Amino acid sequence: MIIEGEFHVTASIQQTWDFLTNIQKVASCVPSFEKVEVFDDKNFTITVSQKVGPFSATFETQTNFTEVTPPTRLVAFGKGKDTKMGSSFELTNQMDLIGVSEKETLVKYKADVKINGRLASVGQSLIKIVAKREVAQVIKLIQEKIGGQLSGKV
């Protein structure tokens, strides 16, 4: 499933880049985020946990930046498994940053989300809606935090 779109942040391209490559900061924008373990500036394990009604899944996702072109392109690949749900999760996320002005950056993203295993056959439509909703939340938080950070509110 591909989720793509774009959003604006009120920050320069460099500031945006710095934020987006800071795992701790980005992780704090993911509502389903539980914990992150950073190995180096390109490799880390992020644990996300999603719950929808009686269904819940926790994916310990090994993630790495596969393409880093400061300050314009960042590609991350993550792969996780929830043994209890017999399901795995894969995410490739590409972000292209375009400076609109000194104070504004356009971020184009394209995320390819794959869920395999038991979960997949049960609720493709549910997964889709949840994933899209999650992405919208992440963007909202990123926008708020970058903006807030610059205005000194956070």
Tell whether residue 130 is a contact of another protein (CB under 8 A): yes
Interface segment toward another protein; rule CB under 8 A; list 5-13, 39-47, 48-56, 102-110: 48-56
The DSSP element (H or E) to which 17 belongs, if any, is helix 13-20
Answer for which of 14, 83, 136, 148 binds another protein (CB under 8 A) is 83
Q: Which of 100, 126, 136, 154 binds another protein (CB under 8 A)?
A: 126
Q: Note whether 66 binds another protein by CB under 8 A.
A: no
d(CA 92, CA 103): 28
Residues 6+ apart with CB under 8 A from 91: 61, 63, 76, 77, 78, 79, 111, 112, 113, 114
CB 109 within 8 A of CB 117: no
Q: How far is the CB of 151 from another protein (least distance, A)?
A: 32
Strands 43-52 and 55-69: antiparallel
124-150 vs 13-20: helix axis angle to the nearest 10? Answer: 130
Q: Does 76 bind another protein (CB under 8 A)?
A: no
CB of 146 to another protein, least distance (A): 28
55 binds another protein (CB under 8 A): yes
- Asked if residue 52 binds another protein (CB under 8 A), the reply is yes
Q: Does the protein bind another protein through residue 4 (CB under 8 A)?
A: no
Distance in Å, CB of 52 to another protein, minimum: 5
C-alpha closest to that of 139 among 2, 1, 4, 42: 4
Contact call for residue 136 and another protein (CB under 8 A): no
